[in-house]
Structure 1
Amino acid sequence: MKIKVSNVNTPNWKDVNVKSHIPAELEKLSELARNIWWAWNYEATELFRDLDPVIWKEVGQNPVLLLERMSYAKLEALANDKVILRRLDAVYSKFRNYMDVEPDKKRPSVAYFSMEYGLTHVLKIYSGGLGVLAGDYLKEASDSNVDMCGVGFLYRYGYFTQTLSMDGQQIANYEAQNFGQLPIDRVLDENGNQVIVDVPYLDYYVHAYVWRVNVGRVSLYLLDTDNDMNSEFDRRITHQLYGGDWENRLKQEILLGIGGILTLKKLGIKKDIYHCNEGHAALINVQRICDYVAEGLTYDQAIELVRASSLYTVHTPVPAGHDYFDEGLFGKYMGGYPQRMGISWDDLMDLGRNNPGDKGERFCMSIFACNTSQEVNGVSWLHGKVSQEMFAPIWKGYFPEEMHVGYVTNGVHFPTWSATEWKQLYAAHFDENFWFDQSNPKIWEAIYDVPDEEIWKTRMQMKNKLIDFVRKQYRETWLKNQGDPSRIVSLLDKINPNALLIGFGRRFATYKRAHLLFTDLDRLAKIVNNPDYPVQFLYTGKAHPHDGAGQGLIKKIIEISRRPEFLGKIIFLENYDMQLARRLISGVDIWLNTPTRPLEASGTSGEKALMNGVVNFSVLDGWWLEGYREGAGWALTEKRTYQNQEYQDQLDAATIYSVLEQEILPLFYARNKKGYSEGWVRTIKNSIAQIAPHYTMKRQLDDYYKKFYNKEADRFKMLAANDYAKAKEIAAWKEQVVEKWDSIEVVSSEKTEELVKGSIESGKEYTITYVIDEKGLDDAIGLELVTTHAGQDGKQHIYSVEPFQVVKKEGTLYTFQVKHKLENAGSFKVAYRMFPKNQDLPHRQDFCYVRWFY
């Protein structure tokens, strides 16, 4: 018998899911791990860390994965560790006391929609500032105990992880997330199956699993299309944040808007206000209109209700930053919706156009959001003004400064972004109600009573922690890239923990001007190599994978940092994420921000630094235009000197160098006998006391309620009462105005010859009379005299608006009269504006019918 060399069959593998066996004494850990309350409560994260510091580091500070990785023996040992159990009881008691409070039902409830959320670096569903803001917002909603939920996506790959080659080339790595190892839960139906939402895309459905993130008391619902029910192409919808082509982007925005509303319906969730965070979520109002029409309302009635309960927040400062879709592509997936909305295809397209009826104009999500939301806001005072200009073409007949577009300046979630050391300092010296009243400036003034030495010691402690991290990370990156080991030793030796440390962390878009510091390399070299006043710069940031200019800028900065004169003085850290951001904004001495004016909508990294005693040095743009106080930081003027951007860059760079040399460095190094700078500590205290209370996320949340949520909720209740009686009444009134608008007639006018010729005297009063036939509209017309003058920008701006009064009525004829007087001499333009008026409208742009005449 011949013996065979081998005889092996194919193994029949069976998937086995081995769950961690958590001893009963440690069950509370599982509950804590699955609510990211731990992300802003340091007692919880320190507890998880101390369970096993080695594994904690290996799993990237992910408590769910930590519990999964720990051995049964280790868990059993911890179950018998009395110290750990006492700490667990204390943390869990704090958690339950927090969670068991009933939501505040007095304030309107809110559904918040965003393409990204930055909650923790563990959950990669964010890319930058927009997402971190949304994450902070949900955390503060939880802390403030308001009734809010969020809707977004569970990305398989999220945004990319950045690595840098030895020559400074950015490499984008997309790493798949294992959903079973994240602090998220499947949303289950009554039968224990995961909830699936079926979203119509014209002639087929996309099926999305629903997951939940417990953000303290707030639920964030995430949609996930990466499942076997969908085609290969539709599984990709939730693969990458801002990934794929424009077709995939449209699919994402349909899923977020229409799918988001369908998700809440399926879960039985109904809110008072629907808040659209950027135009990505604008299509929530398509589905909401469909739902009201399905109830039996007309489109005109439905849009009244939808507008009254919708808020659109814009973060983009330029028209090019908004999403536009070709009609053919938009119709490919949205062609079935007009019929369900009770309108035509052209009507739907026109809702997304500046110029209705212009077939050459693409559909813009932001314009659609403006047309279907009662309120619109920017994210700083200046950005509100920029947004008024940007959206002015939507509401023709009104000047930008007359727009209803408002603003709420962004803030930051204090418990997330303040380092543990600073939170402990504040807790020791501030009023005990500080955590619940963070926006109260009186409480923050207690910083002046904190001993200077304690402030300086805390700052140096955070700085040394950052320096240690930089040395370690930079060494690991250098060796990973096979860099010369002797050179890394030389570089690390040059890092001076006593030097002034300046941080710059940004998305590497060109308008952020990360290059500005490198405009004059000779002068920069003198500054960083001054033996009496040493300076070091830490840079970090990602460029979009399709942004060649941004990636080139990163490469250039890294190349400059390798020059002998800059070695160890300029360091670029890879993979800017929330974890790295927390280290930077608490460890540097100065936070530098140099955007092109006025393109920084808000900017919040400087606000985060502020909470940690870091001083800001920034262009007066975004939040810093409002926040800057003399003696509490440094600023570059908001005014442009040159229209030529290259010249402006050179001037701004020279200003930065001068301020560093003449003001910042002498102040920082003016040490007293105790070894610290009294002037620097005074600047820190001024910054914290005078600026910080105005830029907390609590203040931002309260502003949204005061400025928008409360009045929208009140108006919606008025419209919806008695089977939507008022909504139906307003819709009918608008229809009547539309029918008769073109037939309204100016019958006669009376003005002096001076007015007719356009030559009048200042200080003299003129009476102007118009008789208008309202064609039976019954006092539904308003008339006003609008005077404008040329501004420094060459554009016409409102000088005065004088309303006419009705002095006589005969049948359908109304006599309007105004007494007109200009106090100042000069050149003006004057015209008369007629408009429909109704006390139940929220503002003029709600019904933008205007007729000008003279």
Structure 2
Amino acid sequence: MSTVIPKTGPVAYFSMDVAADSAIPTYSGGLGVLAGDMLRSAADLEISMVAISLLHRKGYFDQRLDSRGNQLESPSKWSPENHLTRLGPKVSLLLEGREVRISAWQYRFVGITGHTVPLIFLDTDLEENDAADRSFTDFLYGGDERYRLCQEAILGLGGVSMLRALGYGDIHMFHMNEGHSALATLALMEERDRQQSQYRLSDGEIEAVRRQCTFTTHTPVPAGHDRFSSELVWRVLGERRADVLKQLRVLNDSLNMTELALKFSGFVNGVSMRHGEVSRAMFPNHNIDAITNGVHAATWTSAPMAALFDRVIPDWRRDNCFLRYAIGIPLSEIRQAHAQAKRDLLHQVRWLTGSQLDEKVFTLGFARRATGYKRGDLLFTDLERLKRIARQVGPLQLIYAGKAHPRDDGGKAIIRRIFEAAAKLNGDVRVVYLENYDMALGQLLCSGVDVWLNTPLRPQEASGTSGMKAALNGVPSLSVLDGWWIEGHIEGVTGWSISDRDAENDSDAEAASLYDKLETAILPLYYKEPDRFARVMRSAIALNGSFFNTQRMISQYVRNAYQRAADPHQQFLG
């Protein structure tokens, strides 16, 4: 595949969190995992890319759950020295009138040909900084508004400075993964006007910056976009930078980081077809395209399924499109590979919880951030009906996982409600909740359950990628039609839908639809027609695994973003 992707100049990819490895807790969920998968595929496809993030010495947090589902948080424990290489250069950034020094660490993604993509972690934990400034790169998505703005300044402004200090003087494109790094656009404008005491950029110079920038938005609701008060911006960034933002008409009563990135990016995209539609309605004065997310196939395919692909489709790692040919794999071999993945998962469940689940029982999986719009407790709307389905149609067992943000009381309440439901279902439906969900656990869950459940409030699922990981492993989805599932869903072929796409959000009606699909379609197929169920498994791989991957995704970015945004003949709306 790499031979047909047009070559571009070097790309700098900015992301507040990146999942480089399960042992490096610098990610919280989907955004960081997507960033890591993007960089893994860039390495596989020999794309010239470097990434910038923050070190997050104390990670997101480690989660523990008590017997009632109360979430207990503690800082993640890890040592950068054991996983990363410290780099020599340091740069300075003025924050609140103080000079904050920034150092760097490096992780390298190694592709299938040996090509590497460096990930640069920025670190302020230096002796020359005061104690408060040293903590700026401690917690991912922690602290108050001031802490977050300082972090975003370090990522955007400090990130560009560090790239230059490391010798990356020829960056062709700056790609901002969400608005956290939007101040990188200000850094690029400053580079064009270093010598002037009064900041005055021509329209042509601003347009030149826009042609250097790509912005991917992941947030489908206005409340999710970072916004900082003008008073805080003036205090943290200083008078000169705040005045520039005001002149550029992005700082009024507040600074919206998404608006800043939108205004100064030549290419902007949402992360699914539906999310593109939602984003265009939210920001009607901007051109917003869509490039649907994907996952790194080799990372998320279980060992037994990968061994099957290696034998039957030997080029699948080099070119994920070959997964289309999974349609020719005998059903018995699909079942056998999945059965081993299921055993691996249930073995880990027993090790973590002491609960021994039955590998012959239909197993439903749900693992994602615990927050209101994800509706992790929708399945438990009618416990008596769920019991009746298990007794009359076929037994089922449920595996849950996911963290709630420390300040998300609603998300924490959902976890408690799942624990309460599990207690009431005891004896009829087995439910386990796995704590401290991370990449390693995600790999086991997505590959080892029988069906993957997703129940978001529409249109708040920008994309979702866990169902894509499941599809690679022959695990079909049962999902609300939102995000990527609108594109990946073929009823009874790649999985099943909950309600119709155009129906209004109605949790009771959607729960009823969920129960109907389990009772009349999925469980009868699983227990009475295993070959037909295996055909759905195989179709999920061939149709969805071959498309919803980061090889396809990054090739679209190269063609539609990196090349198109830099084209001097391309016109953009401001």
TM-score range, shorter chain: over 0.9
Matching residue of 1:517: 379
C-alpha distance in structure 1 between counterparts of 2:200 and 2:245, whole Å: 16
Given the alignment of the two structures, is residue 703 of structure 1 paired with residue 556 of structure 2, yes or no?
yes
Letter in 2 for 1:454: E
Matching residue of 1:561: 422
C-alpha distance in structure 1 between counterparts of 2:186 and 2:524, whole Å: 59
Q: Deviations over 1:373-402 (max 9, x none)?
A: 11111000000010001112xx2xxxxxxx
Identity of aligned residues (%): 37
Tell me, what secondary structure is at the counterpart of 1:122?
Answer: coil
Given the alignment of the two structures, is residue 140 of structure 1 paired with residue 41 of structure 2, yes or no?
yes
Matching residue of 1:453: 332
Query: In the alignment, which of 325, 336, 346 is matched to residue 467 of structure 1?
Result: 346
Query: In the alignment, which of 435, 442, 455 is matched to residue 574 of structure 1?
Result: 435
Q: Deviations over 1:339-378 (max 9, x none)?
A: 9xxx756314x224xxxxxx5x311011011111111110
C-alpha distance in structure 1 between counterparts of 2:275 and 2:41, whole Å: 23
Query: In the alignment, which of 223, 238, 243 is matched to residue 335 of structure 1?
Result: 238
1:194-593 to structure 2, matched below 5 A, reads 194-201=88-95, 203-216=97-110, 217-269=116-168, 270-294=170-194, 298-300=200-202, 301-338=204-241, 344=244, 346-348=246-248, 350-352=249-251, 359=252, 361-392=253-284, 395=285, 403-430=286-313, 432-438=314-320, 440=321, 443-475=322-354, 492=356, 495-530=357-392, 533-563=394-424, 565=426, 569-593=430-454
C-alpha distance in structure 1 between counterparts of 2:61 and 2:191, whole Å: 37
1:527 Cα offset (Å):
2.1
Q: Deviations over 1:468-526 (max 9, x none)?
A: 11112112xxxxxxxxxxxxxxx64xx32211100000101100011111111110121
1:327 Cα offset (Å):
0.7
Tell me, what secondary structure is at the counterpart of 2:547?
Answer: helix
Matching residue of 2:113: none
Determine if contact 2:28/2:140 at 8 Å carries over to the other structure: yes
1:36-115 to structure 2, matched below 5 A, reads 106-115=7-16
User: Structure 1 regions of 5+ residues with no counterpart?
Assistant: 1-100, 188-193, 353-358, 396-402, 476-490, 672-676, 716-839, 847-854
C-alpha distance in structure 2 between counterparts of 1:581 and 1:207, whole Å: 36
Between the two proteins, the alignment pairs up a number of residues equal to: 563
* TM-score, normalised by the number of residues in structure 2: 0.94
Tell me, what secondary structure is at the counterpart of 1:503?
Answer: strand
C-alpha distance in structure 2 between counterparts of 1:459 and 1:134, whole Å: 27
Determine if contact 2:273/2:483 at 8 Å carries over to the other structure: yes
Larger Rg belongs to: 1
Tell me, what secondary structure is at the counterpart of 2:214?
Answer: strand
1:566 Cα offset (Å):
5.1
Matching residue of 1:628: 489
1:554 Cα offset (Å):
0.2
Tell me, what secondary structure is at the counterpart of 2:398?
Answer: strand
C-alpha distance in structure 1 between counterparts of 2:34 and 2:486, whole Å: 19
C-alpha distance in structure 1 between counterparts of 2:195 and 2:269, whole Å: 30
Cα RMSD (Å): 2.0
Determine if contact 2:387/2:429 at 8 Å carries over to the other structure: no
**For the structure 1 residues 445 and 156, does the alpha-carbon distance in structure 2 shift closer, same or farther, using more than 3 Å as the test?**
closer
Q: Deviations over 1:89-139 (max 9, x none)?
A: xxxxxxxxxxxx99x993232100000001211111000000000000011
1:268 Cα offset (Å):
1.4
C-alpha distance in structure 1 between counterparts of 2:549 and 2:86, whole Å: 32
Higher relative contact order (CA 8 A, sep 6+): 2
Determine if contact 1:561/1:567 at 8 Å carries over to the other structure: no
**For the structure 1 residues 326 and 421, does the alpha-carbon distance in structure 2 shift closer, same or farther, using more than 3 Å as the test?**
same
Determine if contact 1:529/1:565 at 8 Å carries over to the other structure: no
Matching residue of 1:46: none
